[in-house]
Structure 1
C-alpha cells in the first residue's frame, strides 16, 4: 500500500510538470517555434506510462513491502524530482517534455548544462525509472522496458545533439557577434 501511494504521488507530481510543459509548448508554437522528433516523443510517452503501469502491477502481484530497496528507490526518485524541478526552472518557458525549439533558440550556458550533457535524461529520467523499479521490486519491468527506453532516449539525445550543432549553437554565435 505504501509503495502504491508513493508511486501515485510521483505520478501526480509528473502530471503537474506535464501541465507546465503543455503551457510552454502552446506558447512556443504560438511564437513560431517548432517541434522535432514527434514520433520518438510518442514512443517516450508510451514507454513512460507503460513503465509506471508495469511497476505498479509487479508491486501488487508481489505484494511489495517498503524495505531497503524502497528506501533507495525513494532517494533516487527524490533526487530525480529535484533535478526535474531544477532543469525546468533553469529553462523556464522553453522547457518541455517534447523536443521543441523557440525562434532563435539560444544555448543555456548554466554550469549544469556545461557539466552534464542532457541533465534531464541522466539526472531526472534515469534515476526516476531506476527508483520506481527499486521501490516496486519491478525486476521484470526493468529487464523488459528499460532497454527499450534506453533506445528511445538514445534516439532523443542524438536528435538534440543534431539540433544543438545545426541550430542552437549557430544561433548563439550569430547573436553574440
Structure 2
C-alpha cells in the first residue's frame, strides 16, 4: 500500500513537471530559444517511462519487501525531492526536461547551481537508484542506474556544447 502511494505521488509529480516544462518551453521559444539534443530526448523519455514500469512490475510481481534500510533510503529520497524543487525554482522559466537554449541568455548561477553545474542530474541519478532500493527492486536499480549513466554521457556534453556556443556559460562557470 505504501509503495502504491509513493509511486503515485512521484508519477503525479513528474506529470506536473512535464506541464511546467511545456509552459517554460513555450515561453523560451517565444523569446527565440531552440532545442538542442532533440534526437536523444525520446530515448530519455522512454527510459524514464520504462523505469516506472519496471519498478512497478518488479515490486508487485516479485512481491519485493521494503529495504531494511528503508528509513535511510526514504530520508535520502525526501532530501532529493527538496533539492529537485530547489533546482526547478532556481532556474525558474529556464528549467526544462528538454535542452532548450536561449541565445544570449544570462546563465543561471544561483541556488545549487552555485556549486554544481548539473545538480538536477545528480538528483535524478539519486532517485533512479534510491527509489527502487527503498522497495527492494534491485534489478530496476541496477539497470536504470546504468542506463542513466549512458544517457547523461550523451545529454550533458550536448547541453554544455549548446550553452557554450550561444550563452555566457563559459564565463559563468569559468570554463576553457
TM-score class, shorter-chain normalisation, is 0.7 to 0.9
Q: Distance in 1 between matches of 2:93 and 2:112?
A: 18
Offset at 1:67? 4.3
Q: Is the 8 A contact 2:36 2:162 kept in 1?
A: no
**Which shifted more, 89-98 or 69-78?**
69-78
Asked if 2 retains the 8 angstrom alpha-carbon contact of 1:77 and 1:132, the reply is yes
What secondary structure sits across from 1:39 in the alignment?
Answer: coil
**Tell me, which stretches of 5 or more residues in structure 2 are unaligned?**
none
Residue of structure 2 in register with 1:81 after alignment:
81
TM-score scaled by length of structure 1: 0.87
Q: Could you tell me how far 1:143 is from its partner in structure 2?
A: 2.5
Task: Describe the SS at the equivalent of 1:68.
Answer: coil
1:164 positional shift: 3.0
Q: Distance in 2 between matches of 1:11 and 1:68?
A: 24
SS in 1 for 2:35: strand
Name structure 1 gaps, 5 residues minimum: none
Are the counterparts in 2 of residues 2 and 65 from structure 1 also a CA contact under 8 Å? no
Where is the helix percentage greater, Structure 1 or Structure 2? 1
RMSD of aligned Cα (Å): 2.0
CA contact (8 A) 2:107 2:167 kept: yes
Aligned length: 172
* Alpha-carbon distance change, 149 to 130 in structure 1, aligned in 2, over 3 angstroms: same
Return the alpha-carbon distance in structure 2 between the equivalents of residues 109 and 69 of structure 1. 35
Could you tell me the TM-score, scaled by structure 2's length? 0.87
